[in-house]
Amino acid sequence: MPLLSVIIPTHNRANILEKCLTHLESQTIAEDIEVIVINDVQNDKEYERIANSAWQIPVSFETISPCHQGVARNKGVQKARSSTLLFIGDDILLAPDACALHVEAHEHASTPIAVLGSIEWAHDIEVTAVMKWLMQSGWQFGYPKIQKYAGGILPKNMQHQYSYTANISLPTEVAERISFRDDIALYGWEDVEWGNRLKNAGVRVYFESKSLGFHHHVITMEDSLRRMETIGKAAVVLAKAVPEFDRLPRGWKKMAYSVAALLPTMAGRHRKAFLRGINKL
């Protein structure tokens, strides 16, 4: 029985998925992990080539109908054989000891917890100005804001904001009990909503900052602004479905966003795109 089931939803990114799997082969506990890849693109020849390749670790590949990445994760959970699972993205390249650190954190926990690892930009890609801003601002990953909690439990009132599914593990029975919503089709916020339900169920988030994943994804300003508009739309949809969802700006906060959106700064341009998405619904 594996010590850890690694679940990877993937969509039309076969080349980087191959790198992701290669890094999993290099884990210090490679002999004790299984990998479950859930693909939602039909007739992808490059994906089929990877699925038919010989891997040094157990990797199962399944293609399902086009879906939200949360639905793909749920499918992976159903196939997991380990009592602990790790969600990562298909563009995340794990450091060699990343999986071992997740397993150790769970072994030392007295109650069921989620274990959050760190994310940095991959060293072999060009890190654009907007990528640097995204990492510092929290609009994609907000790790600078939680570094003081490294090696400990995140405060309960904020933990859901850091339930990043790019590098987070939890007991399989918890993932089975608290699954991702299957009624939201737009990209964005599904991890925050899921993290809020983990919090409400008493599952705390431990920050294992040494478990490192490298994000191999170049993002241009245009890419980032399109993403912001999409997550603006998604915030409206999720707020309608989940009344306690707290990421949709309202009242004075929305007014502050509107003022900031007038500025020709990185933050201003992103808030403008976010509001544009909100106002489209």
Domain range summary for the chain, segments of one domain joined by + = 4-215, 221-279
pLDDT at 245: 87
pLDDT at 261: 95
CATH superfamily of 4-215: Spore Coat Polysaccharide Biosynthesis Protein SpsA; Chain A (3.90.550.10)
When pLDDT is averaged across residues 57-73 and rounded to a whole number, the result is 95
pLDDT in tens, 90-100: 999 999 999 99
Which of 185 and 231 is assigned the larger pLDDT?
231
Phi, psi of 210 (to 5 degrees): -80, -15
pLDDT at 188: 86
pLDDT in tens, 13-25: 999 999 999 999 9
C-alpha neighbours within 13 Å on the C-beta side of residue 254: 14
268 within 8 A of 261, measured Cβ to Cβ:
yes
149, pLDDT greater than 80: yes
At residue 196, the 3 state secondary structure works out as helix
pLDDT at 13: 94
Place of tokens 């191999």: 216
C-alpha neighbours within 13 Å on the C-beta side of residue 222: 0
pLDDT in tens, 164-220: 999 999 999 999 999 999 987 778 899 999 999 999 999 999 999 999 999 999 999
pLDDT at 121: 98
Q: How confident is the model at residue 255 (pLDDT cuts 50, 70, 90)?
A: very high
Q: What is the CA radius of gyration of the chain?
A: 18
Distances from the Cα of 40 to the Cα of 14, 63, 68, 234, angstroms: 12, 6, 9, 20
Which of 136 and 162 is assigned the larger pLDDT?
162
104, pLDDT greater than 80: yes
Average pLDDT, the chain: 96
